[in-house]
Structure 1
């Protein structure tokens, strides 16, 4: 993932699968990277993308690919994802805490960025012992498994805590938001301390029937939120 101030990643489970090649061409030009949801039908009651999907599209894209492992046994999926050429692997904290250090060492040893994902009901304290080892903390603002869910406002406090803890301890992780990122939530997420955002149906694909126009609208809506937040911060420091 790029280290600019904010990145917008596209949730590929929300794309039009009848037009993958053309859509990837547009997304590669317009957006910052890709988010690939891998589900096993057990950790959450859905099955979406796979390491084979990541491998198939890798030659067509150069932007970073983030894999979100919504799987009961994430260690089973590490080698296929690494071999697919992804850039970051984010298992769920709820699934790796019996072997978290071994899992993170394996991901990092393969030259990939280490992510960790928290379900909405999982406290930040659950992962406090290895926050110094992660590159990205993904905070779910909806329950796992399905697109189109309503934003859970209680997650704003978790984002604030994650930002405060990073500043207090000098950690380097970026805060990535997964779930209902759109024009209705950008401002509150930015103010809480989010760095990067995953957009899907509500934040991108539903904005316009022409994907390039949808990308432009998405970025314009996001930039409007950034400008408002930065404007208020400047006024408060004046």
Structure 2
């Protein structure tokens, strides 16, 4: 599978949202929208209102990563705002995982789950077959710019092996430190969707078009 890229919109130049989204429209595969409640993680970023505001100019699927304590409070709002994927943390839904997954699907939205570094894949084994995407965090959640956690490569390989063995359809995505230092190891382990933020994309150049070209050049150099 050809590698897919999902720019993290919280890392873009928020003073030039439309211009940046129009550049991303022609290059990326998804938009990654982090939604934090200040409780599950000690930060607050984007919101359902942000999704609603940018949806008219977005040409790609909007992927919403819920770093929130009560994801069920956000599901309907995000579906109405135009989310294409809703991805809560497994740690926040396991008491009612099947109900929340079914709710998301009933709204016509694809569903994923996100796994913190310390959470094993076995935690989601009873509903892994229902998922459209699994996001493996390679940093602890909540803040951009953290160091890559090497132990996550084994988890990515495990997700790939389970997918291949059972014929599952979920995408394997990685969130955290996707950049030229990690592209090769992540690609070799089985990552299919790379969430790119400060180090992987936006910090490469103030001109996002130039930054994107640099990112692709870095990826090709490291993986081909």
Give the alignment's TM-score, normalised by structure 2: 0.98
Partner of 1:236: none
1:167, CA displacement in angstroms? Answer: 1.4
Partner of 2:176: 179
Counterpart check, 1:15 vs 2:12: yes
If you compute each CA radius of gyration, which structure gives the higher value, 1 or 2? 1
Q: Deviations over 1:121-163 (max 9, x none)?
A: 0011000010110010000000000000000000001001111
Partner of 2:215: 218
Structure 1 residues 55-70: aligned runs within 5 Å: 55-70=52-67
Q: Secondary structure at the match of 1:222?
A: helix
Distance in 2 separating the partners of 1:215 and 1:32: 13
1:30, CA displacement in angstroms? Answer: 2.1
**Could you list the runs of 5+ residues in structure 2 that have no partner in the other structure?**
none
**Could you list the runs of 5+ residues in structure 1 that have no partner in the other structure?**
228-238
Distance in 2 separating the partners of 1:225 and 1:53: 34
- Which consecutive aligned stretches of 4+ in structure 1 deviate over 2 angstroms post-superposition? 223-226
Partner of 1:89: 86
Distance in 2 separating the partners of 1:118 and 1:104: 15
Q: Secondary structure at the match of 1:18?
A: helix
Give the alignment's TM-score, normalised by structure 1: 0.92
Q: Aligned-residue CA RMSD in angstroms?
A: 0.9
1:30–1:212: 8 Å Cα contact kept in structure 2? no
Q: Deviations over 1:148-197 (max 9, x none)?
A: 00000000010011111111222111100000000100000011111111
Partner of 2:36: 39
